[in-house]
C-alpha cells in the first residue's frame, strides 16, 4: 500500500520544494521506490520529458533525487504565465490553451483536478512512497474553493500534511498559528506536524518558541532545519534569482539579461558554478559594460520581451558591446531575438505581426500556434570567438513555438562564412552556388539539425541545458578566456555528479535535523 507525505507552506518560497527533494532522497537511500508529486505548478522553469511532455523543473530535480526518470504524472498541471494576467495551461505535458486567471480558477481548475487524480492513480499503482508538494498557502481564502494543489489533494489521499514555515523571513510563529486558524477543522486535522525552515543561529535560544508552538497548536515540531548555503538544487521559479549571483574568480564575467518573462533560468546554473566565472542577472543596460559574455535567455513571450529590451536601452547596449568584441549568446527566445526578423502572423504573443530582431545572426523566425517540445542529442562543430568548438552526443531539450530559417544579409563574406558553418563546415568549393535555391534549402535543413548557429562572437541555439554538458561548457569558457589572452583551465567539472552530491548533502542535513522516527509513525497511520 502506497504511503504519502505532503508538505504545505505558510506562504510561497518557504522551502516546500527543497524539503520534498530532501525526503525523496532520504527515502531513496532507504531503499524505497519513491516518486515526487505536485498537482499544479505555476512556473516558467520547465523541462521536457523523454516522450515530449512538458513539466515543472522542480519535480525533475525531485525525480533525480529519487533516482527515477521524470514523468508528466509528477506534475500533471503546469501554468506558464504569458503576460496580462494570462497563462498557458498545460495538462499532462501538453498545452490546452491560454486562459486568464479568472477563467482558469473559476471555470477550469476543478476540471483539471481530474488529471490530478488520474496522475496520482498511476503513480500510486507503481510507487510505494509519494512525497507531495503543495503550492503557496492552503489558507488563501480567496482561492480556496477552487484550489487543486493543497488540501484538495490531501483530502483525496487522506495524506498527512507537514506545515512548513520560513523563519528567515520573520513572523514565523504568527504565520503558523494564523495558517492553522484559517483552515477548516477537517483540514487542520490533516496537519500532523510543523517544520521550521532556514534557521540561522543557536537553536537552543529558539526552544521556548517550539514549546509555545506545540502548546498553542497541539502539533509537534518535527524539525528545525538550518539555512543551507549554496544548495545546488534546481529552483521552481525566479524568486530565487537574486541568490544565484556566483562568486567565482571573475576571469570570465557573464551577464544574463533578466527578461520580464525569463524562462528556464536553470540553463545557467552550471556556468555559475565554475571557479573562473562571475555570473549575474542584469536589470539595467549599464551593467552589461562589465560583461565578457551577454546571454539573452529563454522567454515565454519573446515579442514583448524584445520590445521591452529595445525600449529599455538594452538592444542599443548589446549591439555596442558586440561591436567591441563581447560574446553574445541567445538561448531559445533569446536565439530568436538575435535574428533579423520575427514574424507573428497569428498574433500569438503580441499585437505585432512583425518585429526587427538584433540582426546579429542571418536568420528569421515565424511563430506558429503549435509548440515543439522534445529532448535532443546533438553533435556540434562550429567556430566561436576564433576558436573551434566540437562536441559529440550532447544532450538537452527544446521548448519553442515557430520555425527559424536562414536569411541572406548584404555582407557576402559573413554570409558565406556562416552558411558554410551551417553546411557542416564544408569549404566554399564544395557548396552549391551561393545563389542556388538548394543552397538555402540545405541550410534550413542543417539549421534544424545543427541546433547551434554561430557567427564571429555570436552564437544561438534552441537547446536548453546545452551548458550542462561538461566538455562543451569548458570549451565555451576557454574560448572566452583565449579572447582575453588567458590560458585555458584544464579541470573539467562533472556537473551532473555534483548535483547528485548536492542531493546527498541536502538529505543528510535534513535527516539530521528531522525527527524521522515520528515522521515514520505519522506516515504509517495514514
On whether both 342 and 464 belong to a single domain, the answer is yes
| Residue 383 DSSP SS3 | strand
On whether both 355 and 434 belong to a single domain, the answer is yes
Residue 322 corresponds to which cell in the numbers above?
Answer: 558586440
- In this prediction, residue 425 carries a pLDDT of 41
Could you tell me the CA-to-CA distances from 16 to 7, 71, 378 in Å, in that order? 6, 20, 35
On whether both 291 and 147 belong to a single domain, the answer is no
Q: Catalytic site residue 24? A: no
- Give the chain's end-to-end CA distance (angstroms, integer): 10
Cβ neighbours for 385, distance < 8 A, ≥ 6 positions apart: 327, 456, 457, 479, 480, 482, 483
* Beta strand residue intervals within 341-487, DSSP E: 341-343, 354-356, 363-384, 387-406, 452-455, 458-461
The neighbour count for residue 268, using CB atoms within 10 Å, is 22
Alpha-carbon gap, residue 30 to 158, rounded angstroms: 24
Cβ neighbours for 19, distance < 8 A, ≥ 6 positions apart: 7, 164, 195, 197, 225, 510
On whether both 269 and 403 belong to a single domain, the answer is yes
- In this prediction, residue 230 carries a pLDDT of 77
- In this prediction, residue 170 carries a pLDDT of 85
Judge whether 134 lies within some domain.
Answer: yes
**CATH at 287:** 3.40.50.880
Contact 398, 48 (CB under 8 A): yes
Burial 93-103 (b: 16+ CB within 10 A, else e): bebeebbeeeb
On whether both 191 and 333 belong to a single domain, the answer is no
* Beta strand residue intervals within 200-232, DSSP E: 221-226
On whether both 479 and 506 belong to a single domain, the answer is no
On whether both 363 and 290 belong to a single domain, the answer is yes
Residue 501 corresponds to which cell in the numbers above?
Answer: 552530491
**Count of domains for the chain:** 2
Contact 170, 178 (CB under 8 A): no
Judge whether 494 lies within some domain.
Answer: no
On whether both 396 and 507 belong to a single domain, the answer is no
Q: Compute and round to an integer the Cα radius of gyration of the chain.
A: 24
Max CA separation in the chain (angstroms): 83
Per the structure, the complete domain to which residue 47 belongs is given by: 3-232+500-524
| Residue 341 DSSP SS3 | strand
Alpha-carbon gap, residue 182 to 365, rounded angstroms: 50
Residue 205 corresponds to which cell in the numbers above?
Answer: 535560544
On whether both 433 and 514 belong to a single domain, the answer is no
Q: Catalytic site residue 464? A: yes
Judge whether 474 lies within some domain.
Answer: yes
Closest CA to 291 of 254, 244, 250: 254
The neighbour count for residue 161, using CB atoms within 10 Å, is 27
On whether both 289 and 168 belong to a single domain, the answer is no
User: Model's pTM, two decimal places?
Assistant: 0.88
Question: Mean pLDDT in runs of 10 for the chain (526 residues)?
Answer: 96 94 98 98 92 95 97 97 87 94 92 97 98 95 93 97 94 96 97 96 93 97 92 66 63 96 92 94 96 96 94 97 96 93 84 90 85 87 87 90 68 48 42 49 54 79 94 96 93 92 96 97 90
- In this prediction, residue 242 carries a pLDDT of 60
- In this prediction, residue 315 carries a pLDDT of 97
Active-site residue (options: 24, 172, 332, 443): 332
Q: Alpha-carbon dihedral of residues 115, 116, 121, 126, nearest 10 degrees?
A: 110
Amino acid at each position: 500500500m502506497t504511503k504519502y507525505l505532503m508538505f504545505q507552506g505558510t506562504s510561497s518560497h518557504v522551502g516546500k520544494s527543497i524539503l520534498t527533494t530532501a525526503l525523496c532522497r532520504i527515502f531513496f537511500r532507504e531503499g524505497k521506490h519513491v516518486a515526487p508529486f505536485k498537482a499544479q505548478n505555476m512556473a516558467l522553469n520547465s523541462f521536457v520529458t523523454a516522450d515530449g511532455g512538458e513539466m515543472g523543473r522542480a519535480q525533475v530535480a525531485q525525480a533525480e533525487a529519487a533516482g527515477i526518470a521524470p514523468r508528466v504524472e509528477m506534475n500533471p498541471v503546469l501554468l506558464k504565465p504569458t503576460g496580462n494576467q494570462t497563462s498557458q495551461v498545460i495538462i499532462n505535458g501538453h498545452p490546452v490553451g491560454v486562459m486568464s486567471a479568472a477563467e482558469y480558477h473559476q471555470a477550469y481548475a476543478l476540471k483539471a483536478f481530474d488529471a490530478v487524480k488520474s496522475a496520482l492513480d498511476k503513480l500510486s499503482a507503481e510507487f510505494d512512497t509519494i512525497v507531495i508538494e503543495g503550492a503557496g498557502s492552503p489558507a488563501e481564502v480567496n482561492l480556496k474553493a477552487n484550489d487543486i494543489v493543497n488540501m484538495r489533494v490531501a483530502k483525496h489521499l487522506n495524506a498527512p500534511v507537514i506545515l512548513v514555515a520560513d523563519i528567515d523571513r520573520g513572523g514565523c510563529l504568527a504565520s503558523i498559528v494564523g495558517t492553522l486558524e484559517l483552515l477548516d477543522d477537517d483540514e487542520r486535522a490533516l496537519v500532523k506536524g510543523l517544520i521550521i525552515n532556514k534557521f540561522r543561529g543557536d537553536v537552543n535560544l529558539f526552544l521556548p518558541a517550539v514549546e509555545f508552538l506545540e502548546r498553542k497548536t497541539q502539533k509537534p515540531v518535527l524539525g528545525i532545519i538550518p539555512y543551507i548555503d549554496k544548495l545546488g538544487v534546481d529552483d521552481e521559479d525566479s524568486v530565487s534569482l537574486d541568490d544565484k549571483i556566483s562568486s567565482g574568480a571573475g576571469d570570465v564575467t557573464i551577464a544574463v539579461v533578466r527578461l520580464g518573462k525569463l524562462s528556464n533560468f536553470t540553463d545557467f546554473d552550471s556556468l555559475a558554478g565554475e571557479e573562473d566565472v562571475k555570473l549575474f542577472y542584469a536589470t539595467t543596460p549599464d551593467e552589461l559594460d562589465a560583461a565578457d559574455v551577454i546571454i539573452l535567455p529563454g522567454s515565454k513571450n519573446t515579442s514583448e520581451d524584445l520590445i521591452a529590451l529595445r525600449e529599455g536601452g538594452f538592444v542599443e547596449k548589446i549591439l555596442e558591446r558586440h561591436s567591441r568584441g563581447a560574446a553574445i549568446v541567445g538561448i531559445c527566445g533569446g536565439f530568436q531575438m538575435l535574428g533579423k526578423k520575427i514574424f507573428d502572423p497569428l498574433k500569438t504573443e503580441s499585437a505585432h505581426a512583425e518585429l526587427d530582431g538584433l540582426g546579429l545572426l542571418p536568420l528569421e523566425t515565424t511563430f506558429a500556434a503549435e509548440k515543439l517540445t522534445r529532448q535532443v542529442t546533438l553533435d556540434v562543430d562550429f567556430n566561436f570567438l576564433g576558436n573551434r568548438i566540437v562536441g559529440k552526443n550532447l544532450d538537452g531539450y527544446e521548448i519553442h513555438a515557430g520555425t527559424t530559417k536562414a536569411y541572406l544579409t548584404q555582407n557576402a563574406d559573413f554570409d558565406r562564412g556562416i552558411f558554410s558553418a551551417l553546411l557542416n563546415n564544408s569549404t566554399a568549393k564544395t557548396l552549391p552556388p551561393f545563389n542556388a535555391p538548394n543552397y538555402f534549402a540545405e541550410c534550413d535543413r542543417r539549421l534544424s539539425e545543427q541546433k547551434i548557429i554561430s557567427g564571429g562572437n555570436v552564437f544561438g541555439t534552441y537547446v536548453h541545458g546545452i551548458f550542462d554538458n561538461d566538455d562543451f561548457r569548458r570549451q565555451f569558457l576557454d574560448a572566452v578566456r583565449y579572447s582575453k589572452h588567458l590560458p585555458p583551465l584544464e579541470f573539467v567539472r562533472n556537473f551532473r555528479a555534483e548535483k547528485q552530491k548536492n542531493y546527498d548533502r541536502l538529505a543528510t542535513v535534513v535527516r539530521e535535523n528531522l525527527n524521522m522516527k515520528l515522521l515514520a509513525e505519522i506516515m504509517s497511520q495514514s
